[in-house]
Amino acid sequence: MTTMLGLQLTGRRVLVVGGGPVAARRVQSLLADAAQVVVVAPQLCEVLLDLHRWGLIEWRVREVEESDLDGAWLVHTATGDRSTDAAVLAWATERQTFCVDAGSGADGSARTPATTQQGDVLVGVVSTGTADPRRTIAVRDAFASQLREGRVDLRHRRAHPGRVVLVGGGPGDVGLLTLAGRRALAEADVVVTDRLGPVAVLDELAPGVEIIDVGKTPGHHPVPQHEIGRILVEQAQRGRVVVRLKGGDPFVYGRGGEEVLACREADVPVEVIPGVSSAFAAPAAAGIPLTHRGTVGAVHVMNGHDGWSSAALTGLRDGSCTVVVLMGVSALATLATQALDAGADPATPVALVEEGTLPGQRVTRARLDDVVDVAAAAGVRAPAVIVLGAVAAAGLLEPEGDAAHTAASSDESVPGAVTMAT
């Protein structure tokens, strides 16, 4: 039978016998655990030589002797010579010192587990019978995948300092939430969430995780920003891990900077996990490349509520950049009129992507001078991302013959426009 223990090796002597690559891997792992490592071998591989030059290990330049085990809390033997490894194991057994035999896992009095770590949780896998490294690694990898994807409840069960994590949830599709974001959710005691973003992931939270909805809808902000900041700080000061789940990226029109400032002013630890912004994800999901060789090589992202900047208008007018507008549906008429008055080409292609990456995704295309009427006829509603510029043209990524057919089909349905669900 095998009993798994967690060993505290910080500052304690560990003897490693052998100077090859296997021994080097063991030594690097031991150094990460802050062990005092002594290596006994006539020669060392390059990795171990470097560690010795840097003063990280002690090297005894000879064959191993029984006295080398003096003072060792743990022994690893990895010489590749069965008689030498067997002798080291016998000496360790006589001294009642655990020994890992890298050449034969079944013979040693200890085994090195296959490990994976997430935060302050270390998971190890060993075989209780005959050593089976492939199976052990396969099981370890399965656990690692669950941890990376945040599918294990990692909340602390004891008091700990509170903190806030701003998580960029992406444009809506749960599959576009990053692994780092999922891991943060697995550690959360409370989640402060918006209306947008991957709200479906809330159904996967562990029982007992508190959910606070501060979501906004167009023209309706039931929880003002200063109150959201107060909630984050208050929850963290109660010793809770607080995840602020936001749509897109926290620092792209997500007011994440204001929430970071609120936490720092209250001396609450805060970190930011980036997310996939809908400014880039929604067009990509709709098959619209924001840059395309030979067409355009720059992107300008703007907030529709703030109106046009001179840089955005210049880029749109001379075709030097693609313009992406977030939160622009309600301001579409004003934006289109101002762009035309500023000299933008009336035939500039425009695409409106509703519910990007979600099952209800729909793309509506029109010329700049027709887009207001076409959007109204199609019933375009927020949330939607607006793309203006040559890349928004229908058929851009189709072969020439297919592109002509796509354009012709568009003209037959609504003059100058095409609406399609994807």
Show the tokens assigned to 138: 């396969």
Cα–Cα distance list, 323 to 58, 344, 403 (Å): 61, 12, 23
The answer to whether residue 194 is catalytic is yes
C-alpha to C-alpha distance for 313 and 13, rounded to whole angstroms: 68
The label of the residue with tokens 């069965």 reads: 82
The answer to whether residue 246 is catalytic is no
Catalytic residue, from 107, 132, 216, 345: name it. Answer: 216
Handedness of CA 157, 161, 162, 165 (dihedral sign): negative
Contact 296, 323 (CB under 8 A): no
Contact 16, 26 (CB under 8 A): yes
Contact 281, 178 (CB under 8 A): no
- DSSP label at residue 165: E
Cα–Cα distance list, 364 to 149, 150, 355, 405 (Å): 34, 36, 12, 17
Which H or E run includes 271?
strand 270-273
Alpha helices in 151-223, H assignment, sequence order: 179-186
Q: For residue 74, give the nearest of 2, 8, 1 by alpha carbon.
A: 8
One-character DSSP codes across 66-100: GGGGTT-SEEEE--S-HHHHHHHHHHHHHTT-EEE
Catalytic residue, from 85, 194, 249, 370: name it. Answer: 194
Helices (H) and strands (E) in the chain, counts: 12, 18
Task: Please identify every residue annotated as catalytic.
Answer: 194, 216
